[in-house]
């Protein structure tokens, strides 16, 4: 059963439609919006504002955190042992094939003070260490953060970025929109990642990278110029060929 006592729910700080587990701890200055759910042993810090339709599980939220509508925090990460099967020349699954087996996802998410998280962003709970979002970091809408990820202080992560499990991101890192970051990588303090990049190797501190796979920004720009030059040359040859046919 869930508590409705005035010690955890008032008309001013927790919306009547919100569902709060009795073991959750909520500071009396925190705000919880309509239809949000706060699960067992969640802690919510001073001045934190949780928007509508959020789900908060296995999580500690610090002070002055802002969660926009639809945020999901603390659900299981994507961890499975792959399918195994007996040797066979057929690629069709047989009765000896075993389904992927789920790996335990039993740890928490630590959201530190002054973090802001955009609508419909998801942050998975840890499996071998807590997933952590550092103080003052701002995360846009529609971002996926995998289990065991650590993001440092004062980072900016733009929309539709996906960060795979167990990656460590330093302090003051800037990540553009629609970036994909592979698992178990390190991105150093002050690094910058251009929009739509695919990061598949470590990024040094203060380095700027772009492209897929992401490379140093100077190399990426030269590659882009060369690609445009080759594309223009191909088009010019096609035009000359067409003119020759017409003549």
Provide CB contacts within 8 A for 4, sequence distance 6+: none
Q: Which of 53, 147, 184, 204 is catalytic?
A: 147
Burial of 63-74, coded b for 16+ CB within 10 Å and e otherwise, reads bbbbbbbbbbbb
How far is it, in rounded angstroms, from Cα 38 to Cα 120?
16
Instruction: Annotate 90-150 with DSSP letters as a single string.
Output: --S--TT-BPPEEPP----EEE-TT-EE-TT-EEEPPSSS-EEE-TT-EE-SS-EE-TT-E
Active site residue 147: yes
Active site residues: 147
């Amino acid at each position: 059963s869930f508590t409705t006592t005035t010690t955890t729910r008032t008309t001013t700080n927790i919306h009547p439609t919100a569902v709060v587990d009795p073991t959750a701890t909520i500071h009396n200055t925190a705000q919880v919006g309509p239809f949000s759910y706060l699960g067992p042993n969640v802690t919510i810090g001073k001045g934190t504002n949780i928007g509508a339709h959020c789900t908060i599980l296995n999580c500690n939220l610090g002070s002055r955190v802002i969660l926009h509508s639809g945020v999901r925090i603390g659900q299981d990460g994507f961890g499975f042992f792959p399918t195994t099967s007996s040797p066979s020349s057929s690629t069709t699954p047989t009765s000896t094939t075993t389904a992927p087996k789920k790996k335990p996802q039993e740890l928490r998410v630590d959201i530190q003070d002054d973090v802001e998280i955009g609508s419909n962003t998801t942050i998975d709970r840890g499996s071998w260490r807590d997933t952590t979002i550092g103080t003052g970091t701002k995360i846009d809408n529609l971002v996926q953060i995998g289990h065991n990820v650590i993001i440092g202080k004062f980072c900016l992560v733009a929309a539709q970025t996906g960060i795979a499990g167990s990656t460590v991101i330093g302090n003051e890192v800037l990540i553009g929109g629609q970036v994909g970051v592979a698992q178990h990588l390190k991105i150093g303090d002050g690094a910058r990642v251009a929009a739509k990049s695919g990061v598949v190797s470590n990024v040094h501190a203060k380095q700027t990278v772009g492209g897929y796979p992401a490379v140093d920004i100077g190399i990426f720009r030269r590659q882009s110029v060369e690609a445009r030059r080759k594309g223009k040359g191909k088009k010019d040859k096609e035009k000359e060929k067409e003119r020759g046919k017409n003549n």
